[in-house]
Structure 1
Amino acid sequence: MTFHSGEIAVQTQAGVRDEAQRLCTVVSNIIKPAAQEFLGSQNLAVAGTVDVNGRVWASLLTGQSGFVQVLNEQTVQIDANLIPDVVLKQNLYSNSQIGLLVIDLANRRRLRLNGKAEIQPEGKIIVQIQQAFFNCPKYIQIRHIEKGVIEALGKPEIFTTEALNETINTLITTADTFFIASSHPDFGADASHRGGYPGFIQVVNSNKLVFPDYTGNNMFQTFGNLVVNPHAGLLFIDFEHGHTLQLTGKAEVIWNANKLSTFAGAQRLVEFDVEQVLETRNASLLRWRFGEYSPVNPR
């Protein structure tokens, strides 16, 4: 693995360039046995994709255990027939870039799989892997699946707007977890996890959010992408009821020390300007029960 110019710029500014370079060895272009075993029992993934206008979206994927199936060491198949996300498939028809984050909330484990995707006639998604690597367990809140795949309580309903409202604000400001998707024009799409105590994301106004970046793995795939391409997508999940909130817009990395001081543990901030909002009711047949907060969440 080699880092692109945006990643190198952020690593350099953060003063972790040498450490990041040493971490290159954790990134593989194959799905190693440990990752294959991990995928066989997972129910939850997040996909980062790019639409025809260059906007980036983060989408929820859920299914029965092993719905992300390993076909060989460089190929996975996603059974996406139950996924109501209208954006995901539309994006992949026009742009094959995909970043996958497969996450086990109960055991605080996460695997990133980035590559190129193709939708099959029967609706399944085949992904050719270019990058595969586990991430550390930091900032993952433990959640347990309350039920297996259940009968839907109602058909998915999708609502679109261009600004935040009071209901959306409440979901955002009480969230302890969200996901962020980013993209580089040459190196592809990526999806990543963010966590903290409720309130770690602030709503500035009806079209702007701000949230902190805590100490992580120092490779800065997300921030490196944002330096080159500010388009990003955020995904919030209502774990108790199976609803989702998707935001697409533009993100700016903030290093200003005075602004950082208002967020406990923040190394950097991200200001996110919202361009479009998708609310999906009944987006997943799965429900999760809260377990406990990550012990490393900054207070």
Structure 2
Amino acid sequence: MIAYHSGEITVQGRAGLAQQAEFSRGAIQNAVPDVAADFLAQQPMIVIGGTDRDGRIWATQLTGPPGFLEAAGSTLTIGALPPPEDPLAGLLTEARTGAPARIGMIAIEPATRRRMRVNGRAVRTGDHLRVALDLVVANCPKYIQKRDHRALAPDDGETVRTVVDGTELSADQQRTLREADTFFIATASDRGDADASHRGGNPGFVRVLSPTLLRWPDYVGNAMFMTLGNLERNASAGILVPGWTTGRALHLTGSARTVWDADETAGIPGAQRIVEFAVTGVREVGAASPLRWSDPAYSRFNPPAT
């Protein structure tokens, strides 16, 4: 059975959920069951987290027609590579057998509110990525907003990948975060093992305190604390905010910490803790995805946002 690392154990204990975490650990595997392989094969998108050449953690997305994700046992093949504008392009296109890229991934199907986490070590093979899996776990459907998708034709919509870089959030980017109901966060353990996770809530659940400081509530989950456990030992983190209706992608990198102060969480509905994220880098990419998604049906589990 796969063991938790010291950061996860510390957070589980502090939250008073060590027993529940031990129960949840039984769901963690290192191979993809057949039903999960079928799920992955149906997905047009996977979110990936990893560390760039400068040691910064980013989250990004790869897309393709259903079938571009092919799982067999402890191997996942991804039939896509990131474009040069992507913040993880260097990591993923240069990964070789002798120096695999440690990546965390999450496949999510908003239409059915299903998601699956798969982490491992990736190498490039031609125009594909082959990932040796170290961790496979299905997550619960809480806080996922229901959406349907369609794929644009090659000559339909925005096609030029514009890039805007910065060290702080513009007014428009701050508005995007205040209106967001979903984002993805990438972290890594102190050993460098990467992870990618989903965060969702009603619009307004992400608070923009300044152009370089965000906060959001940490709601009730599966008690594994993979994200917060990583942050306990390694504060570096990355965020992806998908442009569901535009195809744009907002990538942030920086550092995060968990706020355990009961007085600070008391006024935030549903908050068990708070996560604070300090922005050090921003990259916004236009035409990052050919997928367009419908307006959301919000999860019944979302607490009210203040």
TM-score (norm 1): 0.95
**Cα 1:106–1:235 shift into 2, 3 Å:** same
Matching residue's letter, 1:148 = A
**5 Å matches for 1:1-299?**
1-70=2-71, 72-81=72-81, 83=83, 85-92=85-92, 93=94, 96-120=101-125, 122-145=126-149, 147-152=150-155, 153-186=158-191, 188-299=193-304
Identity of aligned residues (%): 39
Aligned length: 296
Cα shift at 1:68:
1.1
Instruction: Please tell me whether the aligned partners of residues 10 and 223 of structure 1 are also in contact (alpha carbons under 8 angstroms).
Output: yes
Deviation string, structure 1 residues 37-85 (Cα, Å, up to 9, x no partner)? 1011101211010112221110011111121112x21111111146565
Q: CA RMSD in A?
A: 1.4
Moved over 6 A (4+): none
**Cα 1:78–1:149 shift into 2, 3 Å:** farther
Deviation string, structure 1 residues 131-180 (Cα, Å, up to 9, x no partner)? 111000000000000x2242253221111000111100110000000000
Structure with more of its chain in strand, by fraction: 1
Matching residue's letter, 2:89 = K
Provide the C-alpha distance between the structure 1 equivalents of 2:296 and 2:239, rounded to a whole number of angstroms: 23
Deviation string, structure 1 residues 165-196 (Cα, Å, up to 9, x no partner)? 11001100000000000001326100000000
The 3-state SS of whatever aligns with 2:87 is helix
Q: Which runs of 5+ in 2 are unaligned?
A: none
Instruction: Please tell me whether the aligned partners of residues 61 and 83 of structure 1 are also in contact (alpha carbons under 8 angstroms).
Output: no
Provide the C-alpha distance between the structure 1 equivalents of 2:127 and 2:251, rounded to a whole number of angstroms: 22
Provide the C-alpha distance between the structure 2 equivalents of 1:14 and 1:292, rounded to a whole number of angstroms: 31
Instruction: Please tell me whether the aligned partners of residues 60 and 86 of structure 2 are also in contact (alpha carbons under 8 angstroms).
Output: no
The 3-state SS of whatever aligns with 1:168 is helix
Comparing 149-158 with 77-86, which one deviates more in the overlay?
77-86
Provide the C-alpha distance between the structure 2 equivalents of 1:276 and 1:80, rounded to a whole number of angstroms: 25
Matching residue's letter, 2:236 = H
The 3-state SS of whatever aligns with 2:294 is strand
Provide the C-alpha distance between the structure 1 equivalents of 2:62 and 2:142, rounded to a whole number of angstroms: 22
